[in-house]
Homo-oligomer: A and B are copies of this chain.
C-alpha cells in the first residue's frame, strides 16, 4: 500500500490552510518552561469528526467537544497537557466552556466551532488563572509550519513527540494528511489517555469523514494496549478543509479506498509510536491471532494475551514462556481446542498442538530478547483473525506509577502549584 502515499514533513500543518501555535502556561507547574497549551486551526471553513473514550466517566473537555462536533462546525482545537480536567464537576465543565468561548472570540468563531482536549492528572481543578491570560499569545502566534510545537505541547509522560504527514493523489490533485499524537500511560484498546489530531486538505463531507475516522481508529488506536487501563480523556479529532482544491471524496469510490488506506497508515503509525513510547516499555510486541472461530473470538484471545500481567512480565525478562500465553488463551472465553493450538514466537514454533515444540531454547530466547517481535497464535479452528500491538510490563512501569495524585495534591496545598 505504500505506493499510494508519500511521507512528507510538517505534521499537522503540512496540509494546506492549517495553522498552529503553542505556548507555555504552566498548567501543571507554574515554574515549568515547557510548552503545554496549543491551538490548531483551519484558515478556511472545514468539517470535523472525532471519536472519544468509551469510559463512562468522561472528562469535561470530552463532553464539550462531543457536543461541539455534533452541533457545530468545528474549525479549531484547543489542547492542554498537565491537567485532565476530569472529575471536576460543574466547575470543570464551566472551565472547558469558558476556554472555548474565549478562544472562539479571539478567532472570530462561535464557541461551538472550537473543540477542546486536556490530558494530565485526574481530579484537580484547572488553573484558569494561568491559562486564560495566554489565549492572546496563543491566537496571535498561529502560523504555518508550527506543527511540531503542538506535538511537543501535548506530551505528558511521553519521552518523545509523535507526528507524521503524508501526501497522496486523489483524482489528479495532491492532498495531504498530517497528524500528531500523545500517549504514555493508560493505553488500552477502546481508547486511552491518548490524544490524536489529524488534519487534511482533502475535500470530504462530514458524514464521509466520520466514517473514515471510525474505520481508521478501529484499525489503529483500538488495537494497542500497554497496561489494560482506559482513560477518561481519549480523543481523536480530525479536520478536513478541502484547501487542496480537489473534488469531494465520495463514499465507496476508488478514491475513498485510497484515502482510507492512507489515513489507516497515518493512524496506525501514530498508534504504534504510542506503544513504543509507553511508560517504561522496553519491547514492542505484535500479537497476531488466526484460525479463530470468529473475528470476535480472535479479538478476545489477542486481548487476553496482550493484557496478561504474567505474559507481559515474561516478555520483560526475555522469557519465551508459551505456557503463560496458552493459559491466557484458555481463559479468554473464546472457543479453543487445546490440542490444536500452535504458538510461534518470532517465527519459531514454541508450542505445537498444545504442547512444547522441539525448538532450541537459545533461539527462542533470542527472539524475545529483541526490541520487537511477533507472537502468532493459531487456534486452527476457522478463519477469524485479529492483531493487537502490545508491550512488556516492567518493574520500572510499576515504580513509575506508584505515586502521582498525592504528590500533586500536596504540592498544590504547599502552594507550589497554587492557582
Contact = CB atoms under 8 A, between A and B. Distances in A.
Interface of A: 54-58, 84, 86-89, 121-124, 185-186, 190, 227-232, 307-310, 313-314, 316-324, 326-332, 335-336, 338-339, 341, 351, 353-356, 361, 364-365, 393-399, 401-407, 409-410, 413
B406 A87 contact: no
A406 B339 contact: no
A322 B84 CA distance: 14
A84 to B, nearest CB: 8
Contacts of A232: 326-327, 330
Contact of A327 (B57, B309, B351, B397): B57
A298 to B, nearest CB: 15
Contacts of A227: 309-310
27 contacts: A54-B331, A56-B338, A57-B327, A57-B329, A57-B330, A57-B338, A84-B323, A87-B351, A89-B354, A122-B323, A122-B324, A122-B326, A123-B322, A123-B355, A185-B310, A227-B310, A229-B309, A229-B310, A229-B327, A230-B327, A309-B401, A317-B403, A318-B406, A324-B405, A361-B409, A395-B398, A398-B398
A363 to B, nearest CB: 12
A308 to B, nearest CB: 6
Contact of A403 (B231, B314, B327, B355): B314
B87 A57 contact: no
Contacts of A394: 398
B406 A361 contact: yes
A416 to B, nearest CB: 13
A412 B101 CA distance: 69
Q: Could you say which of A231, A356, A393, A410 has the most chain B C-beta atoms within 10 Å of its C-beta?
A: A356
Contacts of A413: 361
A89 B228 CA distance: 32
A87 B324 contact: no
A121 B319 CA distance: 13
Nearest to A307: B228
B327 A231 contact: yes
The 3 closest A-B pairs by CB, nearest first: A317-B402, A122-B323, A57-B330
Given A89-B339, A322-B123, A354 B402 contact: no
B122 A327 contact: yes
A313 B402 contact: yes
A89 B355 contact: yes
Given A57-B327, A123-B326, A229-B328, 5 more contacts: A87-B351, A310-B401, A318-B403, A321-B403, A395-B399
Contacts of A316: 398, 402
Contacts of A409: 361
A406 B318 CA distance: 9
Contacts of A320: 405-406
A353 B89 CA distance: 8
Contacts of A321: 403-406
Contacts of A356: 87, 123-124
